[in-house]
A and B are shown apart, each in its own frame.
Chain A
Amino acid sequence: MGTIRTIRTIISGLSLVLLPFTARAEWTVNLSPGVTEVSRSVYDLHMTIFWICVAIGCVVFGVMFWSIFHHRKSKGAKAHHFHEHTLVEIAWTLVPLGILVAMAVPATATLVKMYDPSEADLDIQITGYQWKWRYTYLDKDLDFFSNLATPREQIGNEEAKGDNYLLEVDRHLVLPTDTKIRLLLTANDVIHSWWVPALAVKKDAIPGFINEAWTRIDEPGIYRGQCAELCGQDHGFMPIVVEAVPPEQFQQWLAQVKAEKQAEAAAAEKSWTLDELMTQGEQVYLRACAACHQPTGTGVPPAFPALKGSPVALGDVGAHIDIVLNGRPGTAMQAFRDQLSATELAAVITYERNAWGNSTGEAVAPSQITRILEGNAETAGEGAQ
């Protein structure tokens, strides 16, 4: 590691001279050992193979540079005439083969460990959406979306960037430590890939199929990751944040989330003024809609139509609600019925009908959305696709 540290010192020294304003960022040049047994053995394997490569490189480049310095014509070197040597050639075929076998043994062991099929204590379904993650705690009646929380002003360089720029979300995936957790991965639209380096888990989330991975986190903490498979425009803007807490605290968190959910359902039944809906609607819009339809409502036609002055936002409320709730199949417009609460849905639809000069003056009541959602839930069983 000495050499790496030296190189690091040299490079950071250079950057201090050349690029003073970047000096505050940390210099990470290697994998992190992570916080699971698997991630540590992956790290060890990575280092073993790295050092084997370094050793081979030293020998090969050593001989080469020896020739470059000593067998120059300018130094009077005369060319020898050998051009084959069966024994040497067999040796440098068999020796690398032996080294490869030596590498394959620990690699196979680690891989087998990763494919451990034993039962897990907690099952989480992870669904990739363009461009957010949905976490479903199976058998726990808990299901939520996790969106990028970095403000657009930071991305657009209008505000100073925060410490966890692009690696922060509105809702963490909270997981208990010391518990075997099975992750079931799938996607709603295109292929995504769920990756948290500290857990050494990277698995593709493929629409129509379910992939499986597992982890057992040793240390409480916050672990950040990103989508690792190109999934469209905002592929770089769908981070993952895992918050590992001790098992007791996890139970408390579950109870707390359930209480909040009930409070929210109650809030949907109270009556909301247009102003209240507009204020909340703007926040929801910027979080859930602005990536495509743009903060100004002008969209990016033809893929993402404008809402400003659009027939949908100015026309029949029922049709507008239907599109937001159920999406438009075959386009990028998703179904938001499961992504947002009734209050949020009502607020954002109200906002779309009254912002950017769309002055319909109409407010959609959260209770109205609740009833539509309940009505659909009853008929959903019969109208299976």
Chain B
Amino acid sequence: MSTLDTAVPGLHEEHHGPAKGLGRWLFTTNHKDIGTLYLWFSLLMFLTGGVMALLIRSELFQPGLQLVEPGFFNQLTTMHGLIMVFGAVMPAFVGLANWMVPLMIGAPDMALPRMNNWSFWILPFAFAILISTLFMDGGAPNFGWTFYAPLSTTYAPPSVTYFIFSIHIMGASSIMGAINIIATILNMRAPGMTMMKLPLFVWTWLITAFLLIAVMPVLAGVVTMMLMDIHFGTSFFNAAGGGDPVLFQHVFWFFGHPEVYIMILPAFGIVSQIIPTFSRKKLFGYASMVYATASIAVLSFLVWAHHMFTVGLPLAGELFFMFATMLIAVPTGVKVFNWVATMYRGSLTFETPMLFAVAFVVLFTIGGFSGLMLAIAPVDFQYHDTYFVVAHFHYVLVPGAIFSIMAGVYYWLPKWTGHMLDERMGKLHFWLSFIGVNITFFPMHFLGLAGMPRRIPDYALQFADFNMIASIGAFIFGFSQLLFVWNVIQNIRSREAATARVWEGAQGLEWEVPSPAPYHTHTTPPKVE
């Protein structure tokens, strides 16, 4: 360690360490502290949303109503979706960006450190408000995470106003986070770190941040229109007053579809860091990866109505959105081919991060196939709003986004804590998760094709068997996440010191600083040749 410490440029200029006590976390402007806060927060939300998922799966274990009332069931599905999307996946990626982007581009911190603190610390308030609605008269929001009007306006519980307020805060947090990331990447790269040398995680986050800035205001707009309809007598979404409920869906999905890519592009970035490391081979097709990510981002603005094939679009509209959606398969395919080509003729090892990354590629691709099927408008009439859709988006979000986050955490954890992971426990977590996730979500394809609608608390008897299997899988997956928590805590407490490089094949500036990364890094910009 000591030899490494002295070998690191800039370490001697470190004039102070972290403050002590709670104040360190409340007032911190350090990108590593804020990254840590984001990650712990996201883990807490992941477990909260997970408990809700397990309640949902318990109710669906058998036909008939056993545990919860249908009204509360709807609150659970709504809160599960909102918490997982806005509380677990998005903050986890922001946390990873906070930790890793400055380390990867050779910057001493984020460009706007005070705003960084602010953008994190408003999040707990947003979620405290959202979760408090569960205890309000009339219950929590019960209209699904997509909150279609007029169910979410005229027919909503009174808590909808708190929901709108909390969405506004989350949006503000995301926009500030995105501005910070863009400002950092564009202005604070080390000399010689040209755009086409940026690690892919940085590239994907740069593009994601632009998506966030473009669409979070749209989300803010749509909830504000709801607020006006509910409290100020407007009729944006009320046909009786000259409005249109379908307008809500157009505006929502203009946000919602890019949002889907906000949750997957950073995942592409993480996987593009991990696969080359454990293949001991440079990423295949770096430039085409960057262009593919950018094309996915551009296309994401042109496909929103594929979520609305059954609302009664004109034929020309259906065709346009069908073709545009199918087109997304091309850049997505390029990415998958590049990952496979990176592994091809490499020198592969399968440590925990690599296992999660490989599972990501396989299972995300399966989610991509069902996505392609859903893009075909005439057959989407059969799939739309069934468990086939539930299977599809859980395949891209759980073994997609969530697996990539876990891969990233296992990959960079030694850099954060300075300790190596207990590989045996990491692999146990991986295999239980992998098996659990597939037992949970694969049968949902069958359920959807057999005709089970989504968002129902009780179902006809022909759906009983697969629902029971899915519920068993959900419990395996859910409880194996306790192993993840255990692994992280054990890693923090472990004594097995990590080297600066950590992984044999690791490349990039983040591996040039010691492990654990000192409180201040790259205070003198490293040179990139």
How near does chain A come to B175, taking the closest CB pair, in angstroms? 29
Identify the stretch in B48-56, B256-264, B344-352 within 8 Å (CB) of chain A at 4 or more residues.
Answer: B344-352
User: Contact: A204 with B455, CB < 8 Å?
Assistant: no
Please measure, in the bound complex, the distance between the C-alpha atom of A112 and the C-alpha atom of B314, giving whole angstroms.
11
B432 proximal to A (CB < 8 A): no
Given contacts A166-B459, A195-B453, contact A107 B377 (CB under 8 A): yes
A157 at interface (Cβ–Cβ under 8 A)?
Answer: yes
Given contacts A107-B378, A157-B64, A209-B312, contact A79 B347 (CB under 8 A): yes
* Shortest Cβ gap from A245 to chain B (Å): 22
Q: Give the residues from 63 to 112 in chain A that come closer than 8 angstroms, CB to CB, to chain B.
A: 63-64, 66-68, 71-74, 77-85, 88-89, 92-93, 96-97, 100, 103-104, 107-108, 110-112
> Which among A25, A93, A226 is the interface contact of B334 at CB below 8 angstroms?
A93
B453 touches A28 (CB 8 A): no
A208 and B469 CA atoms in complex are apart in Å by: 41
Q: Is A120 an interface residue (CB 8 A)?
A: no
Given the complex of chains A and B, what is the CA–CA distance between A111 and B347 in angstroms?
48
Please measure, in the bound complex, the distance between the C-alpha atom of A165 and the C-alpha atom of B62, giving whole angstroms: 13
CA–CA, A45 and B310, complex, Å: 18
Interchain CA distance A104-B282 in the complex, whole Å:
36
Task: List residues of chain B with CB within 8 A of the CB of A130.
Answer: 155
Q: Are A60 and B365 in contact (CB under 8 A)?
A: yes
Bound together, the chains give a CA A57 to CA B288 distance in angstroms of 21
Are B343 and A68 touching (Cβ within 8 A)?
yes
CA distance A27 to B462 in the complex (A): 7
Q: Of the candidates B138, B337, B345, which one forms a contact with A71 in the assembled complex, judged by CB atoms under 8 Å apart?
A: B345
Within 8 A of A (CB), among B273-314: 279-288, 310-312
How far apart are B59's CB and chain A's nearest CB, in angstroms? 11
Interface residues of A in 90-146 (CB under 8 A from B): 92-93, 96-97, 100, 103-104, 107-108, 110-112, 114-115, 130
Which of B163-171, B186-194, B210-218, B368-376 forms part of the interface with chain A?
A: B368-376
Contact of B310 among A89, A112, A193 (CB under 8 A): A193
Residue-by-residue, is B452-475 near A (CB-CB < 8 Å gives 1, otherwise 0)?
011111111110110011000000
Q: How far is the CA of A183 from the CA of B114 in the complex (A)?
A: 58
In the complex, what residue of chain A is closest to B249 when comparing beta carbons? A191
CA distance A329 to B384 in the complex (A): 31
Give the residue of B333, B337, B382 whose beta carbon is less than 8 angstroms from that of A42. B382
Complex CA distance for A61 and B343, rounded to whole angstroms: 12
Report the interface size for chain A: residues with CB under 8 A from the other chain. Answer: 104
Query: Whole-angstrom distance from the CB of B35 to the nearest CB of chain A?
Result: 30
Contact A206 B245 (CB under 8 A): yes
Q: Complex: how many Å from CA A195 to CA B382? A: 8
Q: How far is the CA of A61 from the CA of B71 in the complex (A)?
A: 43
- B189-212 CB contacts (< 8 Å) to partner A: none
Residue pair A28, B446 in contact (C-beta under 8 Å) = yes
Closest to B66 in A: A157
Q: Could you say which residues of chain A place their CB within 8 Å of the CB of B456?
A: 226, 235-236
Q: Is B329 an interface residue (CB 8 A)?
A: yes
Q: Does B362 make an interface contact (CB < 8 A)?
A: yes
Contact B143 A225 (CB under 8 A): no
Q: Which residues of B contact A163 (CB under 8 A)?
A: 461
B419 to chain A, nearest CB (A): 23
- A312 part of interface (Cβ distance < 8 Å): no
Q: Which residue of A lies closest to B70 (CB)?
A: A233
| Interfacial chain A residues near B311, Cβ < 8 Å | 204, 206, 211
Q: Which residue of A lies closest to B336 (CB)?
A: A60
Task: Identify which of A77, A161, A212, A229 gathers the most chain B CB atoms within 10 Å of its CB.
Answer: A229
Q: Using A29-B449, A208-B239 as known contacts, say yes or no to A15 and B465 having CB atoms under 8 A apart.
A: yes
Among B126-134, B146-154, B401-409, B493-501, the one that faces the other chain is B146-154
Q: Is A49 among interface residues, defined by CB-CB distance under 8 A? A: yes
Say which one of B1-9, B17-25, B320-328, B476-484 lies at the interface with A. Answer: B320-328
22 intermolecular pairs with C-beta atoms under 8 Å apart? A31-B382, A46-B379, A46-B382, A63-B340, A64-B361, A73-B349, A84-B286, A85-B285, A103-B372, A111-B318, A190-B148, A190-B151, A200-B382, A204-B312, A206-B245, A207-B245, A229-B148, A230-B143, A230-B151, A230-B454, A236-B70, A236-B459
